[in-house]
Structure 1
Amino acid sequence: MRVIAWLVEGTWPACVDAVRTHAPHAREVVLLHVSGAEVPGVAHGAFAGLLGRGRPERDPGDRLAALGDTSAAELLDAAAARLGRPCERLERTGRVERAVVAAAEGADLLVVARDGDRARLGPHSLGPAARFAVDHAPCPVLLVWPERAPGLSTLPPPPPLPSP
């Protein structure tokens, strides 16, 4: 069994714990972190358009990309230590939701943490990237709460019954 655990800042421990609990005998575990290219790109564009003509060495986009790479490596190291078994560490950059779906190709399970409104049950508990990954994953998905799930009292009300 090949398991992909998609790790995101703030929710990654729940994904690692889910792998340990629900796939303890997986032959291959891949810890995946995807960095979006948007933030460094915006910083680079602002610098080039407003400030940086003739001084490319001072481009903040390059610095932000380097900081993101360091942060991703540290997150993957912490996750591997928490997992406590051999695993592959995979870093990707690009459209987050599409990179996750592509990485899940050929996997037997994709582990995803809820990343939206975690105060109540319902569809808003998934952010756009997680929703896309859940909807388009080419394998089964284990969707986990990063903390204790909200109670059933947080379910949205049912739709009104049709009038006779």
Structure 2
Amino acid sequence: MAVVVWVTEGTWRACVDAARALAPADAPIVLLHIGDRDVPGAAHGAFAGLMGRRHPRGNPADGWGSDPGSRVEELADAAGRGLLDAAAERLGRPCRRVERSGRVEREVVAAAEGADLLVLARDGDRTRLGPRSLGPATRFVVDHAPCPVLLVWPGPPPGTATLPPHPDRP
């Protein structure tokens, strides 16, 4: 049984704990982190479009004229590696760490191909039960995963009293 655990900021602990508790001891586990390139891309674009002109009194030694997108990309990569390191330590058993980048939801679905189980967490409204407890990317992954999905709450789940009232039937 091959298990892929989608590691994201804010929900990774619950996913790793679920994999540790439920995956057989000999199951290969992949810790997956997807770097979203939208933020560095926005920084590159902003620099090129709005700030790309050299200031007449600017000094390149002060950083004027350097693209901040490259630094944002470096920081995002380091944060992803740190998240995978923390997840591997919490898992406490051999695993493979995989970092991908691109459209998050599509990269997760692609990485789950051939897996026997994909572990991910709810990332939307955590105050009530229901479909809004899934963010857009997570909803896409749940709907398109090519393998069984284990969907966990990142904290205590809300009670059944949070269900909407039953619609009256005529």
Q: TM-score when scaled to structure 2?
A: 0.91
RMSD: 1.4
Q: Which moved more, 1:46-55 or 1:11-20?
A: 46-55
Matches within 5 A, 1:9-88: 9-53=9-53, 58-88=66-96
Match of 1:149 among 134, 145, 157: 157
Q: Which runs of 4+ in 1 moved over 6 A?
A: none
Q: Count residues in correspondence.
A: 162
2:126 aligns with: 118
Give the gaps of 5 or more residues in structure 1.
none
1:80-118 superposed Cα distances (whole Å, 9 cap, x missing partner): 000000000000110000000000000000001000000
Q: Is the 8 A contact 1:3 1:26 kept in 2?
A: no
1:127 aligns with: 135
Greater Cα radius of gyration, structure 1 or 2: 2
Give the gaps of 5 or more residues in structure 2.
55-59
Counterpart of 2:5, as a letter, is: A
- Following superposition, the deviation at residue 50 of structure 1 comes to 1.1
Q: Percent identity?
A: 66
- Following superposition, the deviation at residue 70 of structure 1 comes to 0.1
1:40-87 superposed Cα distances (whole Å, 9 cap, x missing partner): 111111110111246796111111111000000000000000000000
- Following superposition, the deviation at residue 27 of structure 1 comes to 2.1
Counterpart of 1:61, as a letter, is: G
